[in-house]
Amino acid sequence: MLFAPTAWADTTTTTTNGATDSQTTSEASSAQNQPAETLTIAQSTPIVTASSGFHMQIVVANRSDADLPAGSLTVNTNALFTFASRSDMQAWAENGTNIPTPNNLATVDVPAITAGSTATVAIDVTADQQTLTSMRSWGPKPLNLYYVAGDTHEELHSFLTRSADGLNTAQTPAMGLTVAMPLTSSDWQTNETAITDLIEENDTSSSSSAAQASGSQSKETANSNGSSSDNDTDNDDASDDADSSVSTNSTEPLLLSTQSIAQTKAVEQAVAKHPKLQVVADPLYLQESGSKPTVAGVMQPADFDITAYAAVNNASAYTSAGVSDAQWTAKSTQTLYAVATKTTDTPNAYAWQGSADWTLDALTKARAQGYTTVIAGSSFDAEQTDTVHTGTYTVNTSAGDVTVLKEQSELGTLAHGHATSKEATAETSDAGRLARLLAQSAFYQMEQPYTTRNLLMTFTRSSSADWINQVMSALEQASWLNLTDLNTMASMDPYQVNDSVNQNADAPDTSATQSILNQLAGSRQNMTRLASSILKNSVNSSDIDTLDTQALARRDADSTASHSNNPKQWISDLLALHDSMALRALTGSEPTESHQRMADAAQNMANTLLNSVSITPSESISVFSESAKMPVTVSNNLPYAVNVQVNSITDSMQIVTSRSNTIVIPAHSEAQVAFTIRVSTSGSTTAHISLADRHGNAFGNTQDTVITSVLRISDASGFVIIGFAVLLGVVGLWRQFNRKKDPDE
């Protein structure tokens, strides 16, 4: 017997048969004390068989400011009713149609409820109850919940699905249903200690990386095409802020949060119970989480958003940001999977839909990258048909044919944890959505029982293990469904073969993606500038293009262990890490804080590198002559020598310094350069000292030094000059008083 805990329950409820359900979702805790509706389905039997009976738990909420008196809750159905269309089912779910429900299942008393409180009542109907035994046909039945307390009257429409078990009805072929889920996460974190070790090229980092390479978890690996880049927990130490915590023992620069790994374990346990569930895994996620589930296929690395890539329509922007096409090919994702699982398996590669819809351009690019099959949402084909059909399409692109597996709209919406509409109030809880999902799938089989069809339903990237287990357990007991795999669905006769896509006319909003691309391009440009214009032994752009940026991914610790004065491999490692961050900042889920966190991490790393060359603050300078020297100390915390310009400019025209000096600072050292100060008067000014690369482009910090001039006469020539000036003054005065006036004056 199956029960579906409600989306808001954050407690453990023991049902009459002793089953225990625990719900720990964030949605649960946030709405625990105040359900959105007066009536909420907390538990329900998704499929009624000849022996199951029918069981429900209903939460009655008093959302008013006054106490509610004791009342009653009546649950009715129509044992002989058969839904005629999808629109009838939707209208019933939205309380918009008056289907008679004369058959009573149960009536229970509801105690008085104080303002703002709730009461939970149980409905337990035995298998031999008259209404249940009077059902002569299988399929979805209307379920009406009616609550009365004083002047309060509330009604809720849901569904009861009767299986064919024990009924004398004709057996019809089961309808094909493929259930798939992406196993990935955008919850990537940075290990600042490991990043610092990489920047400083510490020996401890090299040795620990080597140890990690031979350990149980391998990281990103090179491929033949080029570079690559919610609810359950068994960790007692996990806290509310676990999403931001990472393992302090890891030497990896990019990690999943402890909460994400705990959820992975829970999901993996749920997946193991349901072999028909088609898991499409992100290989980079598998590498870090250590998860090794049985997979039906692999998706693009780091869940790279191919649909947004096509919507932005600016390949050079991605290249500038550090994401090359070679990082997310189908071949690279298969290679990464083999490394993550330490096998030679090459599962099928599927391109999973990102934040935008699949367009012809997106499909063409996916096909060019080696993906012959893509997973699409229900918006892929906007055409509305009278009955559901196989969700397999073939799209002819200039790069080759692409098989598109489209999700069925209503089933997908419910599986994603959403109600089919705002008015479908019974679907605000998991139990209510599950009841509708089973009823809807049964109706789809009944509308064309002898037509071969295969539908697709998917879970989301963040579906909880508990929800996955509930849905799959119910679907596995649905005799009208035949759970198929992705290969079976892809090989079905396509519903449509075309060279176009019937897409949504509204252009997607790509502003958030473009903002992240610009930020990543800026951080990568700063790193390449460090390589070519700041390091003493520069690494030019032509050299960067030929660098093996997969050294970090392979954990090639020997490159840093055998340190030399050539910084090429060091730059390669840093760029590989930057590009790994960039890939994770452009995942297929909607732009979130996680995306921005990766972009910020890349920018912080670039800033740290540039700020590692800095001007040491100096004290004020007093000048007692016409010229003096101003020493400036520049420190270099990088593991390689730098060659930079030090510039100085003052706010005064009477107290000036020489403008520029070039200085070489060894690795992890300081060096000093002297500027000449020239003074023509007493006073004070500020010298602004800054750093620039060899092309004159400023970087790093600016240091202000106050210069105070106290000009003194220090030799005989000074007194001669003063005496001559006095003499000229006296002569001028004498002429003024003894001048002979002109007659015209």
Distance between CA atoms of residues 136 and 260, nearest Å: 47
Average pLDDT over residues 198-203: 84
Minimum mean pLDDT range among 61-70, 75-84, 377-386, 447-456 = 377-386
* Strands of 71-77's sheet in order across: 47-48, 152-162, 139-149, 71-77, 103-110
DSSP 501-568: ----SSPP--HHHHHHHHHHHHHHHHHHHIIIIIBSS---HHHHHTS-TTHHHHT-THHHHS--S--H
Minimum mean pLDDT range among 330-344, 346-360, 557-571, 601-615 = 557-571
pLDDT of residue 97: 82
- Does position 188 have pLDDT exceeding 60, yes or no? yes
Task: Name the amino acid, one letter, at 727.
Answer: L
Residue with the larger pLDDT of the pair 235 and 95 = 95
Residue with the larger pLDDT of the pair 438 and 96 = 438
- Does position 740 have pLDDT exceeding 70, yes or no? no
Question: φ and ψ at 478, to 5 degrees?
Answer: -85, 105
Chain-centre distance of CA 35, in angstroms?
A: 29
Distance between CA atoms of residues 367 and 371, nearest Å: 5
pLDDT of residue 731: 78
The residue extents of the domains of the chain are 12-170, 181-512, 614-709
Minimum mean pLDDT range among 171-185, 312-326, 561-575, 695-709 = 561-575
Of the pLDDT bands very low, low, confident and very high (cuts 50, 70, 90), residue 210 is very low
3-state secondary structure 148-176: EECCEEEEEEEEEEECCCCCCCCCCCCEE
- Does position 150 have pLDDT exceeding 50, yes or no? yes
- Does position 233 have pLDDT exceeding 60, yes or no? no
453-503 pLDDT per residue, tens: 999 999 999 999 999 999 999 999 999 999 999 999 999 999 999 998 876
3-state secondary structure 502-513: CCCCCCCCCHHH
CA-closest candidate to residue 222, choices 150, 73, 92, 329: 329
Scored b (16 or more CB within 10 A) or e, 518-544 reads ebbbebbebbbbbbbbbbbebbeeeeb
Alpha carbon dihedral 385, 386, 387, 393, in 10-degree steps, equals -10
Of the pLDDT bands very low, low, confident and very high (cuts 50, 70, 90), residue 9 is very low
Residue 732's contacts (CB-CB under 8 Å, 6 or more residues apart) are: none
Neighbours of 409 (CB within 10 A): 17
Q: How many CA atoms lie within 13 A of 140 on its CB side?
A: 28
Average pLDDT over residues 411-419: 97
Distance between CA atoms of residues 225 and 227, nearest Å: 7
- Does position 229 have pLDDT exceeding 60, yes or no? no
605 in Cβ contact with 582 (< 8 Å): no
Distance between CA atoms of residues 599 and 593, nearest Å: 10
270-320 pLDDT per residue, tens: 999 999 999 999 999 999 988 889 999 999 999 999 999 999 999 999 999
Scored b (16 or more CB within 10 A) or e, 715-743 reads eeeeeeeeeeeeeeeeeeeeeeeeeeeee
Minimum mean pLDDT range among 140-154, 359-373, 451-465, 532-546 = 532-546
Of the pLDDT bands very low, low, confident and very high (cuts 50, 70, 90), residue 542 is low
pLDDT of residue 625: 87
Distance between CA atoms of residues 602 and 579, nearest Å: 8
Average pLDDT over residues 435-459: 96
- Does position 515 have pLDDT exceeding 60, yes or no? yes
Residue with the larger pLDDT of the pair 671 and 9 = 671
Which ranges constitute the DSSP H helices of 105-201? 130-133, 192-200
CA-closest candidate to residue 305, choices 596, 525, 505, 595: 595
379 in Cβ contact with 504 (< 8 Å): yes
3-state secondary structure 60-90: EECCCCCCECCEEEEEEECCCCCCCCHHHHH
Minimum mean pLDDT range among 73-87, 223-237, 499-513, 674-688 = 223-237
Helix (H) or strand (E) holding 635: strand 627-636
Predicted TM-score (pTM) of this structure: 0.83
DSSP conformational letter for 651: S
Of the pLDDT bands very low, low, confident and very high (cuts 50, 70, 90), residue 719 is low
Chain-centre distance of CA 633, in angstroms?
A: 43
Average pLDDT over residues 560-564: 49
pLDDT of residue 507: 80
Q: What percent of the chain has pLDDT over 90?
A: 69
Mean residue pLDDT across the chain: 85
**Which two structure tokens, joined as six digits, stand for 153?**
């009257």
- Does position 228 have pLDDT exceeding 60, yes or no? no
Minimum mean pLDDT range among 21-30, 343-352, 593-602 = 21-30
CA-closest candidate to residue 546, choices 565, 531, 564, 526: 531
User: How far lies 566's CA from each of 340, 572, 639, 640, 662, in Å?
Assistant: 32, 11, 10, 8, 21
Residue with the larger pLDDT of the pair 97 and 230 = 97
Q: What percent of the chain has pLDDT over 70?
A: 82
611-647 pLDDT per residue, tens: 999 999 888 999 888 889 999 999 999 999 999 999 9
Of the pLDDT bands very low, low, confident and very high (cuts 50, 70, 90), residue 40 is very high
Right CATH for 181-512 from 1.20.1530, 3.40.50, 3.40.1350, 3.20.110 = 3.20.110
Of the pLDDT bands very low, low, confident and very high (cuts 50, 70, 90), residue 728 is confident
Helix (H) or strand (E) holding 708: strand 698-709
- Does position 370 have pLDDT exceeding 60, yes or no? yes
At the topology level of CATH, where does 12-170 sit?
Answer: Immunoglobulin-like (2.60.40)
pLDDT of residue 638: 95
Of the pLDDT bands very low, low, confident and very high (cuts 50, 70, 90), residue 442 is very high
CA-closest candidate to residue 700, choices 623, 626, 638, 608: 608
pLDDT of residue 231: 38
The pairing of beta strand 400-406 with beta strand 373-376: parallel
pLDDT of residue 721: 66
Residue with the larger pLDDT of the pair 711 and 319 = 319
Of the pLDDT bands very low, low, confident and very high (cuts 50, 70, 90), residue 52 is very high
78-113 pLDDT per residue, tens: 999 999 999 999 999 998 888 999 999 999 999 999
Most confident of 216-230, 359-373, 558-572, 711-725: 359-373
- Does position 206 have pLDDT exceeding 60, yes or no? no
The pairing of beta strand 54-61 with beta strand 118-125: antiparallel
Say yes or no: domain 614-709 is CATH 1.10.286.10. no
Minimum mean pLDDT range among 125-139, 403-417, 589-603, 681-695 = 589-603
Q: How many CA atoms lie within 13 A of 224 on its CB side?
A: 4
DSSP conformational letter for 242: G
- Does position 29 have pLDDT exceeding 80, yes or no? no
- Does position 549 have pLDDT exceeding 60, yes or no? no
Of the pLDDT bands very low, low, confident and very high (cuts 50, 70, 90), residue 528 is very high
725 in Cβ contact with 713 (< 8 Å): no
Q: Please tell me if the domain spanning 12-170 has the same topology as the one spanning 181-512.
A: no
Distance between CA atoms of residues 284 and 84, nearest Å: 47
Of the pLDDT bands very low, low, confident and very high (cuts 50, 70, 90), residue 169 is confident
Average pLDDT over residues 398-425: 96
Residue 728's contacts (CB-CB under 8 Å, 6 or more residues apart) are: none
